[in-house]
Structure 1
Amino acid sequence: MIVTLTLNPSLDRTIEIGELVRGDVIRATAAHLEPGGKGVNVSRALLANGVPSRALVPCGGDEGGQLIRLLRAEGVDVRALPISGRTRSNITLAEPDSTVTKINEPGPELSAGEFTAVTDQVLAEAGAGGCVVACGSAPPGLPAEAFLELCTRVVAAGDTLVVDTSGPALRAAATAGAALLKPNRDELAEVVERPLTCFDDVVDAAQELRSWGAGAVLASLGADGAVLVDAGGVLAGAAPVPRPRSSVGAGDALLAGFLAAGGVAAAGEGDPERAAVALTEALAWGAAAVSLPGSRMPRPADIRRETVRLHPRPDRARPLPTLN
């Protein structure tokens, strides 16, 4: 069973507009309200493609109740973990040229007791030999040591640990021996404390995370695709999206595709053929998500594996676009 944990979930409202002009009254052309949070999106993507998973979601207040109702309406197997704080709401403004402006609330703090209860529930739900996918930002005020303890307990229990987060929590997950880390370019640059200007920089940074204890690193690079660095070497690839609509949740769909194709086991064994299959699936799911509005997760009919191009020997010196 794949168990996802979203420590800082949200209600995500995506508003499509013609153009964002500060100070103006702007008329929306469409709006979508969906459950949000990286782990939540991974479970939604897996469900949409017939892969069983269970989503663990700390939640509180009216917003938390609405989040759980939305997930259950989609058929997600969700466990609500009550907390005293109020679940956050996020707003995304999407323009026709694919420019996306996000306004994210910080979310509630978790007390030490609440976090311990969450950790206990994660271990209980995963069981021995399960797969725990901890995704998203850590709640405000959560010490890196607490996240390290969660990761360490999961690994010690014999479960496969997959983590998609940032900052000190990402370093903690590597140190604890996570089987797979899935940072994006910004998150990877932040944790190694240097800019990443070309593929070579990304590979070196991924190898540094592996030297800290991580088994494999799947780095998502937006329109430049993704790079997988594991025991078998380096593999890169990309999938073009002719008409992008929203990048919200694309990295989560990418991770879900990798999980669904058995990518974690393939990366751990250093099996290049199986890793290539998993990376193809990941890129196809991620590209499909970009072509959909809001944070909708792709279904089988949305996924175009034939558009994926893998590069077993990527040009590691090729510059990456400058980030704004």
Structure 2
Amino acid sequence: MLLTVTPNVCIERTVMIEDFAPGKVHRVPPQNLHVNAGGKGINAARVAAQLGCAVLATGWVGQRQMDWFAAQLKREGVPHDMVAVAADTRVCTNILNGTGTKTEIVEAGTPLDMIDGTRLLEKFEALLPQASLVAICGSYPPSAEGASDGFDAHLTSLTELARQNGKRVIVDGKGRAFEMVVRSQHPPWCIKPNLDEAAQLLHHPLTGEVAERTAVQEMLDFGVEVVLLSCGERGAYLGTAEGIRFFPAPLVREVSPVGSGDAMVGAFAAQFLATGNITEATRWGLAAGAANATQILSAFCNRADIEALLPPMA
């Protein structure tokens, strides 16, 4: 079973407005608005479930939004065991216009405190025995006044707890919390940064293939066993102890790339659990990311969508 943790879940609104422009009033008919449960770990779990993988999603959800969130996840086929908090769940809005331009409005999230942090750790520990693989995905919400260190160390605590229980952990994160866990004494089994996130982690730009390959090796040198360096529509590097290899992404007509990285994580995890083969899991991850990019909604691609774009075996 794949256990996903989403520290900063969201209510995701996708709005299609043909002539969207700032400074205007836009009236949106119901058929042009879609609302779903979102957040990186939720998205990854949804794609993994589409591939037949048993999943369980956890994370913080506002108490006032819990009933809606639970019903939505049930409709989307994602089993869950969320932690209710007093703070409202954030709303993230994706606006697509008729020319293919995307505008994202991403709320940071309502501040949470350390009591909320402890409750998620306790929930995570209780769920770990059911898990064969863990994916911790996304950023953290702001910390409330009094939480002096914020949640920078929380990701490391989750990862260490999983490692202590013999679980492999995939981390798809960014910022200070991501840097802390990668540079910790017990780093994750697998990480999936994009080029910007890797540059931030390593404190230097990644310009050109040589710099990208060097960056993959630098991340492996931290003790991470599997590095998936996403290069967007170009593809991704897979780095392991056996070497570093670049996988080109399938060529598609892009509609919206939002959620492609999440789809990649979900498919990678599902296929790794099914086969134990990291190379095969990477192929499926790339296909899922590409399939997602052809669709309006984030991480709603299914098995047929993904299989149609599987890169050929080398």
Q: Is 1:261 the counterpart of 2:284 in the alignment? A: no
Match of 1:284 in 2: 287
Q: Is 1:295 the counterpart of 2:307 in the alignment? A: no
CA contact (8 A) 2:284 2:310 kept: no
Are residues 39 and 245 of structure 1, via their aligned partners in 2, closer, same or farther at CA, if it must alter by over 3 Å? same
Q: Deviations over 1:256-308 (max 9, x none)?
A: 11112217995xxxxxxx33322211111111111111214211121245552
Match of 1:4 in 2: 4
Match of 2:146 in 1: none
1:105 & 1:195 partners in 2: Cα distance?
Answer: 27
Identity value in percent = 29
> What SS does the corresponding residue of 1:188 show, helix, strand or coil?
helix
Q: Is 1:189 the counterpart of 2:191 in the alignment? A: no
CA contact (8 A) 2:96 2:102 kept: yes
* Alpha-carbon shift at residue 238 of structure 1 (Å): 2.5
Are residues 121 and 111 of structure 1, via their aligned partners in 2, closer, same or farther at CA, if it must alter by over 3 Å? same
**Map 1:216-295 → 2, pairs under 5 A:** 216-262=226-272, 274-295=277-298
Are residues 199 and 97 of structure 1, via their aligned partners in 2, closer, same or farther at CA, if it must alter by over 3 Å? farther
2:212 & 2:57 partners in 1: Cα distance?
Answer: 30
1:95 & 1:228 partners in 2: Cα distance?
Answer: 34
1:304 & 1:75 partners in 2: Cα distance?
Answer: 20
Are residues 98 and 126 of structure 1, via their aligned partners in 2, closer, same or farther at CA, if it must alter by over 3 Å? farther
CA contact (8 A) 2:154 2:177 kept: no
Q: Deviations over 1:216-239 (max 9, x none)?
A: 211111111111111111122233
- Which of 74, 81, 84 is the matching residue for 1:82? 84
Match of 2:181 in 1: 173
CA contact (8 A) 1:241 1:290 kept: no
Match of 2:36 in 1: 34
**Map 1:63-212 → 2, pairs under 5 A:** 63-127=65-129, 130-141=132-143, 142-174=150-182, 175=184, 176-212=186-222
- What is the one-letter code of the residue matched to 2:236? A
Are residues 143 and 226 of structure 1, via their aligned partners in 2, closer, same or farther at CA, if it must alter by over 3 Å? same
- How many residue pairs align between the two structures? 304
- What is the one-letter code of the residue matched to 1:177? P
Runs of at least 5 residues in structure 1 that lack an aligned partner in the other structure = 267-273, 313-324
* Alpha-carbon shift at residue 24 of structure 1 (Å): 2.0
Q: TM-score, normalised by structure 1?
A: 0.87
1:195 & 1:97 partners in 2: Cα distance?
Answer: 32
1:172 & 1:131 partners in 2: Cα distance?
Answer: 21
2:258 & 2:98 partners in 1: Cα distance?
Answer: 15
Runs of at least 5 residues in structure 2 that lack an aligned partner in the other structure = 144-149
Q: Deviations over 1:144-184 (max 9, x none)?
A: 22322222222122111110000112122222320000111
CA contact (8 A) 2:15 2:94 kept: yes
Q: TM-score, normalised by structure 2?
A: 0.89
> What SS does the corresponding residue of 2:58 show, helix, strand or coil?
strand
- What is the one-letter code of the residue matched to 2:205? P
CA contact (8 A) 1:151 1:173 kept: yes
- What is the one-letter code of the residue matched to 2:294? S
> What SS does the corresponding residue of 2:227 show, helix, strand or coil?
strand
